Amino acid sequence: MIGRFITLEGGEGTGKSTQARRLAKALEARKLKCLVTREPGGSPGAEEIRKLLVSGEPGRWDALTETLLIFAARADHVARTIGPALVEGRYVISDRFTDSTYAYQGVGRDMPRETIRRIESVVLDDFKPDMTLVLDLPVDVGLARARARAKGAASDETRFEKFDVKFHERLRQAFTDIAKRAPDRCTVIDASGTEDEVAEAIWTQVARRFALG
Ligand SMILES: Nc1ncnc2c1ncn2[C@@H]1O[C@H](COP(=O)(O)OP(=O)(O)O)[C@@H](O)[C@H]1O
Ligand SMILES: [Mg+2]
């Protein structure tokens, strides 16, 4: 028995964490076993590496070192968390995965796409999500949501807000470009509706993809 691997991608405040939980609820209501996880992190070792990535200034690591740390964390996440859950037949829902590296380190930090692709190929072979939901939202709306959430949030939830709006515009474009390059895997979701509306749009796509009632 092998499960399904679904990832949620998109910029800050687009609703990834909210919708990861909602999707798990919808699947569990149909008696399907789930695991919700996130990156960077998602396993004890990867959470240790996350601390290196999210503490200190965003420019603490040069772009290649940062990319390698992220893939080191991802290798552990896949080996220790995602892989075993898939073997148990679970729906694994990850709040971010490799597409975020192409967006943040690729477009955000000018790492060549081909370099990331080569690292991905060594680390993950051809392991890819079965389905990726790209949550798309105007940057100002996402940042306003993230800012509202920031009250009391951990600093790792707020650090990218230090970047300017242009950075977030490039990220948004990067995610929609990724979706265009992999149309069989990726579905762009309009994330501007209410939480319920976005959950409904996601459920429609997931149910169709995996032939769920
Ligand atoms: N559809 C929505 N409409 C309005 N606010 C939302 C919606 N979805 C999520 N939020 C709120 O916006 C903030 C950011 O959502 P979150 O799921 O944390 O985004 P992300 O994980 O993509 O950064 C949270 O405070 C959340 O409660
Ligand atoms: Mg989140």
Tens-digit pLDDT profile for the chain (213 aa)? 689 999 999 999 999 999 999 999 999 999 999 999 999 999 999 999 999 999 888 789 999 999 999 999 999 999 999 999 999 999 999 999 999 999 999 988 999 999 999 999 999 998 999 999 999 999 999 999 988 887 766 655 555 555 688 999 999 999 999 999 999 999 999 999 999 999 999 999 999 999 997
Closest atom of ligand 1 relative to the 197 alpha carbon: 1
Are the C-beta atoms of residues 178 and 102 closer than 8 Å to each other? Answer: yes
CA 78 distance to own-chain centroid: 14
Closest atom of ligand 1 relative to the 18 alpha carbon: 17
- Alpha-carbon distance of 5 to 78, in angstroms, equals 11
- Alpha-carbon distance of 112 to 104, in angstroms, equals 11
What local confidence, expressed as pLDDT, does residue 152 receive?
62
- Dig out the tokens for 87 from the structure: 């073997």
Which range marks the domain in which residue 90 is found? 4-209
**DSSP H or E stretch at residue 6:** strand 4-9
- Alpha-carbon distance of 89 to 20, in angstroms, equals 18
Q: How far is the CA of 11 from the centre of ligand 1 (A)?
A: 11
Cβ atoms within 10 Å, residue 46: 24
Which ligand sits nearest to residue 201's alpha carbon?
1
Sorted by sequence, the CB contacts under 8 Å of residue 93 that are 6+ apart come out as 6, 7, 8, 20, 23, 24, 34, 35, 36, 37
Closest atom of ligand 1 relative to the 198 alpha carbon: 1
What local confidence, expressed as pLDDT, does residue 177 receive?
97
Query: What's this model's pTM, rounded to 2 decimal places?
Result: 0.94
What local confidence, expressed as pLDDT, does residue 153 receive?
62
Q: How far is the CA of 47 from the centre of ligand 1 (A)?
A: 22
Q: How far is the CA of 20 from the centre of ligand 2 (A)?
A: 9
Q: Looking at ligand 1, which residue's alpha carbon is closest to its atom 11?
A: 145
- Alpha-carbon distance of 134 to 161, in angstroms, equals 20
The pocket around ligand 1, CB under 6 angstroms, is made up of 12-18, 145-146, 148-149, 193-195, 198
Q: Looking at ligand 1, which residue's alpha carbon is closest to its atom 15?
A: 15
Q: Domain holding 204: CATH number?
A: 3.40.50.300
Closest CA to 172 of 191, 159, 154, 156: 191
Closest CA to 171 of 112, 106, 125: 106
Number of domains in the chain: 1
Q: Looking at ligand 1, which residue's alpha carbon is closest to its atom 3?
A: 194
Closest atom of ligand 1 relative to the 135 alpha carbon: 22
Closest CA to 92 of 124, 123, 126, 130: 130
Identify the burial level of 105 via C-beta atoms within 10 angstroms of its C-beta, where 0-12 means exposed, 13-18 middle and 19 or more buried.
buried
Strands 131-136 and 186-190 turn out to be: parallel
